[in-house]
Structure formats: structure tokens, C-alpha cells
Amino acid sequence: MVQIVNVRSMPELLEEAINYFWTQWGSESNFQFYKDCIIQSCNTESEVPRFYLAIEDNTIIGSYALLRSDLNSRQDLSPWLACLFVNPDSRGKKIGDLLQSHAIKESKEIGYSKLYLCTDLTEYYERTFWKYIGKGYSLNDDVTRIYEYDIYD
């Protein structure tokens, strides 16, 4: 059975969580960035950022984060679903859908009415009722797709 846990509530997983997120999303030059972000998320009273892990049989098989901002050019949108990842050997089991549902539930409990994400993927998020709302730009001017999920729809 898959369990989704907030890294904040399981400090014994902190180092493993940092390494997991950085391995999936980071680069050689930003380990300290991921480490600091995840550690600070465990120490703040703010609702976001939060980092979550999907665990099955004591093994991390996926992740996601709720962030205040994931796209610098769109500071007007918040919060963001980010770092959604499912290990390749766990794909095809709807773990990604489970992580998205959890993120939506968590966002609703915090009091948000919308959730955003940016991605290069097409068709994946549309099938789980995310609405494409336009393009955005990364710091190096790469184009990305922006999606919105209306929590109360």
C-alpha cells in the first residue's frame, strides 16, 4: 500500500528526502538549494512550502511539493504543485494520480481555491482535469506550459 507523507512530519526521512528530490530535479550545482529549501520547509509555520513522499514497502517511490512559486515570471499565481515524480518501475499504477489528488486535498485544507503547475508535458495533466492557461518563461527564457486546477470545480 502506498503511503504519502509530509517530510516535515517524518524528520527521520529528511536526508533521504533531500537526496531524492535533488536526484530527480536537481543538478551538480544546486544540492545546497534543495537541502536548504526542504530543511526550511520543516521549520516554518507558513503553509507552504511543503514536500511529500510516496512510500511503498519502506521505499520512496515518488514525490511532490507544494510551493509558493515555481515559475519566477508568474509570481501572481500561488500555490504550485511541483516536483511530481514517480519512479519508473512504479509507473502505470496511478501513483501520479494519487499524488495529484493528495496535493489537491492538502491545498484545499490549507484554504486555497486553485493550484498551479508548469511543465513541458502535454496530455498528462489534461486527463486529470488540469486546465492549460498559457505559457510562461523560466529564468533562461525557456518556454513552459502553465496549468491551473480549480479545487472547487
Task: Enumerate the β-bridge partners of residue 5.
Answer: 53
Output the CA torsion 153→125→69→63 (10° steps): 110
Q: What is the pLDDT along the chain (153 residues), one digit of tens a residue?
A: 999 999 999 999 999 999 999 999 999 999 999 999 999 999 999 999 999 999 999 999 999 999 999 998 999 999 999 999 999 999 999 999 999 999 999 999 999 999 999 999 989 999 999 999 999 998 889 999 999 999 998
143 DSSP β-pair partners: 137
Residue type, 60: I
For the chain, the domain total comes to: 1
pTM value?
0.95
Question: Helix, strand, or coil here: 16?
Answer: helix
Q: Indicate which CATH number applies to the domain containing 107.
A: 3.40.630.30
Q: Note down the domain range covering 61.
A: 3-150
